[in-house]
């Protein structure tokens, strides 16, 4: 086994189908007119010469659309079909939206406030919906996050939880990493006594391929500080169960 094969192995294990399954299509792929797009293959990825956010955005859309056309024609699709005519650019715009968290300046401005009331109990925001795309297959995983912390000197506006969650969700993501990133963000910004994040999600990459039953939830949790104490975790779970 070569080194590169070893590196690829974990991803390959995730695949249920092998290449052999798809080796012999019934019909040969339809020949498409060769698009004169060689220039885009070599297009400069250095965006710093582009002026303005609109120019950068348009450049990204054009590049992604170019590669999407290559994927669609490789699959043997006819791009003159009226349903596919704009698909390349639609997918490009969708990707920029779904992966908005990667954009410069996407991080939410989160202001914290002094904990003037001396509030020392659990603050919890539960059932926050999110949509993300799995890093391994670029198909959606989505569900809810439950976030709690116990403040020290700083508190945070409750609406900010959802913003932080969305910022980290809008990129190619793993559920485990999303859970860690949200809890780390709270720890860093608020320096609370502790924080806990639980995420429950459905993964279309496993459901659509029949690896898991549709509707099966994957649950991840991340715990920091005082939430390591069993009684605190139980309070979290009690609050979670209450509707």
Binding footprint of Zn ion on the chain (CB under 5 A)? 134, 136-137, 205
What is the SS3 assignment for 216?
A: coil
Query: Which residue's entry shows tokens 């056309």?
Result: 69
Rounded to whole angstroms, how far apart are CA atoms 101 and 108?
10
**Nearer CB in complex with Zn ion: 69/203:** 203
Q: What DSSP letter does each residue of 189-236 carry, written as one string?
A: HH--SEEEEEEEEEEHHHHTTTSS-TTPPEEEEEEEEGGGSHHHHHHH
**Nearer CB in complex with Zn ion: 141/185:** 141
Shortest separation between residue 111's beta carbon and Zn ion, angstroms? 35
Q: Which residue is nearest to Zn ion (CB)?
A: 205
**Nearer CB in complex with Zn ion: 50/205:** 205
Rounded to whole angstroms, how far apart are CA atoms 163 and 108?
6
Rounded to whole angstroms, how far apart are CA atoms 59 and 56?
5
**Nearer CB in complex with Zn ion: 136/144:** 136
Q: Which two tokens stand for residue 54?
A: 């609109």
Q: Which residues contact 231 (CB under 8 A, 6 or more apart)?
A: none
**Nearer CB in complex with Zn ion: 94/211:** 211
Report strand pairing: 123-134 vs 112-114.
unpaired
**Nearer CB in complex with Zn ion: 143/151:** 143
């Amino acid at each position: 086994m070569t080194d590169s094969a070893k590196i690829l192995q974990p991803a390959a294990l995730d695949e249920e189908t092998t290449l052999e399954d798809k080796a012999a299509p019934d019909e040969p792929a339809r020949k498409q007119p060769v698009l004169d797009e060689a220039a885009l293959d070599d297009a400069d990825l250095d965006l710093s010469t582009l002026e303005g956010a609109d120019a950068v955005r348009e450049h990204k859309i054009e590049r992604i659309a170019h590669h999407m056309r290559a994927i669609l024609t490789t699959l043997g699709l006819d791009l003159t079909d009226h349903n596919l005519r704009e698909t390349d650019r639609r997918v490009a715009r969708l990707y920029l939206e779904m992966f908005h968290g990667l954009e410069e300046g996407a991080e939410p401005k989160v202001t914290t406030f002094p904990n003037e009331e001396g509030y020392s109990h659990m603050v919890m925001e539960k059932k926050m919906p999110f949509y993300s795309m799995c890093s391994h297959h670029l198909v959606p995983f989505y569900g809810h996050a439950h976030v709690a912390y116990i403040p020290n000197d700083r508190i945070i506006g409750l609406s900010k939880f959802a913003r932080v969650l969305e910022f980290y969700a809008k990129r190619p993501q793993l559920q485990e990493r999303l859970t860690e990133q949200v809890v780390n963000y709270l720890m860093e910004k608020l320096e609370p006594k502790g924080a806990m994040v639980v995420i429950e999600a459905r993964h279309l990459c496993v459901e659509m391929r029949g690896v898991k039953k549709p509707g099966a939830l994957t649950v991840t949790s991340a715990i920091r500080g005082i939430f390591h104490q069993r009684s605190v975790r139980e309070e979290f779970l009690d609050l979670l169960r209450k509707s």
